[in-house]
Amino acid sequence: MIPVAADLPVVPVRPAHLGDAHALFALSRTFVASGELRPRPLGHYLASVGEFLLAEGITPGTPAGCVAVRDEGAGAAVLHNFCVAHGSQGKGIGSALFRAALARARRYSAARVFTATTGSAVLFVRHGFVPVAPEQAPAAWAAALDPARGSQVYALTL
Protein backbone atom coordinates (compact mmCIF):
# COMPACT_ATOMS: atom_id res chain seq x y z
CA MET A 1 0.00 0.00 0.00
CA ILE A 2 1.22 3.51 -0.81
CA PRO A 3 1.55 5.86 2.21
CA VAL A 4 -0.80 8.83 2.02
CA ALA A 5 -1.38 12.04 3.92
CA ALA A 6 -3.85 11.87 6.81
CA ASP A 7 -6.52 13.84 4.93
CA LEU A 8 -6.57 11.53 1.90
CA PRO A 9 -8.46 8.24 1.74
CA VAL A 10 -6.37 5.08 1.87
CA VAL A 11 -6.71 3.34 -1.48
CA PRO A 12 -4.84 0.07 -2.06
CA VAL A 13 -2.67 0.27 -5.19
CA ARG A 14 -0.52 -2.62 -6.32
CA PRO A 15 1.45 -3.73 -9.35
CA ALA A 16 -0.71 -5.61 -11.82
CA HIS A 17 0.11 -9.20 -12.64
CA LEU A 18 -0.68 -11.41 -15.60
CA GLY A 19 -3.97 -12.55 -14.06
CA ASP A 20 -5.15 -8.90 -14.13
CA ALA A 21 -4.77 -8.41 -17.89
CA HIS A 22 -8.39 -9.31 -18.74
CA ALA A 23 -9.75 -7.01 -16.01
CA LEU A 24 -7.52 -4.14 -17.20
CA PHE A 25 -8.75 -4.69 -20.74
CA ALA A 26 -12.38 -4.68 -19.56
CA LEU A 27 -11.91 -1.52 -17.46
CA SER A 28 -10.29 0.26 -20.39
CA ARG A 29 -13.06 -0.67 -22.85
CA THR A 30 -15.45 1.84 -21.26
CA PHE A 31 -12.96 4.61 -21.93
CA VAL A 32 -12.32 3.39 -25.46
CA ALA A 33 -16.06 3.58 -26.15
CA SER A 34 -16.11 7.23 -25.00
CA GLY A 35 -12.99 8.09 -27.04
CA GLU A 36 -10.87 8.83 -23.97
CA LEU A 37 -8.51 5.91 -24.65
CA ARG A 38 -7.22 4.45 -27.88
CA PRO A 39 -8.45 0.95 -28.67
CA ARG A 40 -5.89 -1.69 -27.81
CA PRO A 41 -6.26 -5.44 -28.14
CA LEU A 42 -6.18 -7.77 -25.16
CA GLY A 43 -2.70 -8.77 -26.31
CA HIS A 44 -1.46 -5.28 -25.45
CA TYR A 45 -2.55 -5.73 -21.84
CA LEU A 46 -1.07 -9.23 -21.69
CA ALA A 47 2.26 -8.01 -23.07
CA SER A 48 2.51 -4.84 -20.99
CA VAL A 49 0.81 -5.87 -17.73
CA GLY A 50 4.08 -5.27 -15.87
CA GLU A 51 3.79 -1.53 -16.60
CA PHE A 52 0.41 -1.28 -14.87
CA LEU A 53 -0.55 -0.28 -11.36
CA LEU A 54 -4.01 -1.27 -10.23
CA ALA A 55 -6.33 0.22 -7.63
CA GLU A 56 -8.41 -2.52 -6.10
CA GLY A 57 -12.17 -2.31 -6.38
CA ILE A 58 -14.73 -3.43 -3.85
CA THR A 59 -15.40 -6.59 -5.86
CA PRO A 60 -12.33 -8.86 -5.89
CA GLY A 61 -10.81 -9.09 -9.35
CA THR A 62 -12.50 -5.88 -10.53
CA PRO A 63 -10.08 -2.95 -10.59
CA ALA A 64 -11.39 0.49 -9.62
CA GLY A 65 -8.67 2.13 -11.69
CA CYS A 66 -5.34 1.67 -13.38
CA VAL A 67 -2.39 3.49 -14.87
CA ALA A 68 0.63 2.24 -16.78
CA VAL A 69 4.08 3.69 -16.18
CA ARG A 70 6.75 3.10 -18.79
CA ASP A 71 10.42 3.92 -18.34
CA GLU A 72 11.49 5.71 -21.52
CA GLY A 73 15.14 6.02 -20.44
CA ALA A 74 17.16 9.24 -20.53
CA GLY A 75 15.42 10.44 -17.35
CA ALA A 76 11.88 10.22 -18.73
CA ALA A 77 8.82 8.13 -17.92
CA VAL A 78 5.39 8.07 -19.52
CA LEU A 79 1.98 7.54 -17.90
CA HIS A 80 -0.64 6.01 -20.14
CA ASN A 81 -3.94 4.17 -19.98
CA PHE A 82 -4.92 6.14 -16.87
CA CYS A 83 -8.53 5.38 -15.99
CA VAL A 84 -10.80 5.19 -12.98
CA ALA A 85 -14.08 3.27 -13.22
CA HIS A 86 -17.03 5.66 -13.44
CA GLY A 87 -18.57 4.41 -10.18
CA SER A 88 -15.24 4.88 -8.40
CA GLN A 89 -14.46 8.44 -9.49
CA GLY A 90 -14.29 11.17 -6.86
CA LYS A 91 -13.12 8.77 -4.14
CA GLY A 92 -9.37 9.45 -4.20
CA ILE A 93 -8.53 6.56 -6.51
CA GLY A 94 -7.04 8.75 -9.23
CA SER A 95 -4.87 10.55 -6.69
CA ALA A 96 -3.71 7.25 -5.18
CA LEU A 97 -2.80 5.99 -8.65
CA PHE A 98 -0.88 9.22 -9.32
CA ARG A 99 1.11 8.86 -6.10
CA ALA A 100 1.98 5.26 -6.92
CA ALA A 101 2.82 6.08 -10.55
CA LEU A 102 5.12 8.94 -9.56
CA ALA A 103 6.82 6.75 -6.95
CA ARG A 104 7.46 4.17 -9.67
CA ALA A 105 8.79 6.86 -12.04
CA ARG A 106 11.20 8.00 -9.32
CA ARG A 107 12.44 4.41 -8.97
CA TYR A 108 13.15 4.56 -12.72
CA SER A 109 15.23 7.70 -12.00
CA ALA A 110 12.93 9.76 -14.18
CA ALA A 111 13.39 13.51 -13.92
CA ARG A 112 10.27 14.19 -16.03
CA VAL A 113 7.02 12.32 -16.45
CA PHE A 114 4.88 12.77 -19.56
CA THR A 115 1.30 11.94 -20.40
CA ALA A 116 -1.24 12.86 -23.05
CA THR A 117 -4.98 13.35 -22.84
CA THR A 118 -7.81 14.19 -25.20
CA GLY A 119 -10.10 15.24 -22.38
CA SER A 120 -10.02 17.45 -19.37
CA ALA A 121 -6.59 17.62 -17.80
CA VAL A 122 -7.91 18.76 -14.42
CA LEU A 123 -6.51 15.77 -12.54
CA PHE A 124 -3.12 16.06 -14.25
CA VAL A 125 -2.91 19.81 -13.57
CA ARG A 126 -3.96 19.27 -9.95
CA HIS A 127 -0.95 17.00 -9.59
CA GLY A 128 1.47 19.54 -11.08
CA PHE A 129 1.50 18.61 -14.75
CA VAL A 130 1.79 21.47 -17.26
CA PRO A 131 1.13 21.48 -21.02
CA VAL A 132 4.26 21.05 -23.15
CA ALA A 133 5.05 20.72 -26.83
CA PRO A 134 5.14 17.09 -28.00
CA GLU A 135 8.75 17.67 -29.08
CA GLN A 136 9.73 17.85 -25.40
CA ALA A 137 8.48 14.29 -24.79
CA PRO A 138 10.36 11.08 -25.61
CA ALA A 139 10.46 10.96 -29.41
CA ALA A 140 9.17 7.42 -29.98
CA TRP A 141 6.25 7.92 -27.59
CA ALA A 142 5.32 11.32 -29.05
CA ALA A 143 5.50 9.93 -32.58
CA ALA A 144 2.97 7.23 -31.61
CA LEU A 145 0.34 9.80 -30.59
CA ASP A 146 -2.55 9.94 -33.05
CA PRO A 147 -2.82 13.55 -34.30
CA ALA A 148 -6.45 12.98 -35.28
CA ARG A 149 -7.32 12.50 -31.60
CA GLY A 150 -6.11 15.97 -30.65
CA SER A 151 -4.10 14.85 -27.64
CA GLN A 152 -2.45 17.48 -25.46
CA VAL A 153 0.90 16.48 -23.96
CA TYR A 154 1.60 17.28 -20.31
CA ALA A 155 4.76 16.96 -18.26
CA LEU A 156 5.73 16.99 -14.62
CA THR A 157 9.26 17.66 -13.43
CA LEU A 158 10.11 15.45 -10.44
Amino acid present at 107: R
Percentage of the chain exceeding pLDDT 70: 94
What gap in Å lies between CA 27 and CA 104, rounded to an integer? 22
Q: Which domains does the chain have, with CATH numbers?
A: 13-157 (3.40.630.30)
**pLDDT tens for each residue of 22-50:** 999 999 999 998 888 989 999 999 999 99
CB 81 within 8 A of CB 144: no
- The DSSP-derived string for 36-86 is SS----HHHHHHHGGGEEEEE-SSTT-EEEEEEEEEEETTEEEEEEEEE-G
